[in-house]
Amino acid sequence: MKAVLSLAAALALAASGASLAQDSDTGDLTTIDTPASTLEQILGQSVELPGEAQEVRVVEATLEPNTAAAWHSHPTPVYVYVTEGTLTMEVEGRELRRLTAGEATAEPLDARMRVLNEEDIPAKVVVFQISPAEKEFLETETK
């Protein structure tokens, strides 16, 4: 939990436009410099977390051209940011959704779904999840 709070504090500081420089003598992060770049929020969503310890997962994935991931579901919230290419998200009972580089989405909880790359170039994504450590990242179908 401490790591999650430290990450949240670092992200909040970065969002405020400040960056930290490490004091070489003491090892303390005390000096505030001007920002080296900008920070743009791509997606924001409120979530309620249970009182147990959580694990932050960041996964990078590449979908090769003209392929589809296996049908699966996620037991905890998952957020996808497309860094290259275009993806089609197929969620059972819903309309198809296309995401291009620079777009993000929250995947629905416990819904049967898959993603497809219908293009002739690879699609790359970064996937973020906060979950109890004992929960699997995804649950694939066995049939």
Same domain, 135 and 75: yes
**Do residue 108 and residue 128 come from a single domain?**
yes
* pLDDT single digits (tens) 74-110: 888 889 999 999 999 999 999 999 999 999 999 988 8
Say if residue 29 is in the same domain as residue 94.
no
Q: Closest Cα to residue 106, out of 140, 142, 130? A: 130
Cβ distance 107 to 59 under 8 Å? Answer: no
Q: Report how many domains make up the chain.
A: 2
Range(s) of the domain holding residue 33: 1-39
Distance CA 1, CA 92 (A): 34
Regarding whether 129 and 79 lie in a shared domain, the answer is: yes
- For the domain that residue 128 is a member of, what is the CATH number? 2.60.120.10
Are residues 125 and 56 part of one domain? yes
CA dihedral for 61, 67, 73, 79, sign (positive or negative): positive
Same domain, yes or no: 55 and 108: yes
pLDDT tens figures, 28-60: 444 445 455 555 666 566 666 667 777 788 888
The residues pairing with 123 across neighbouring beta strands, listed in sequence order, are: 63
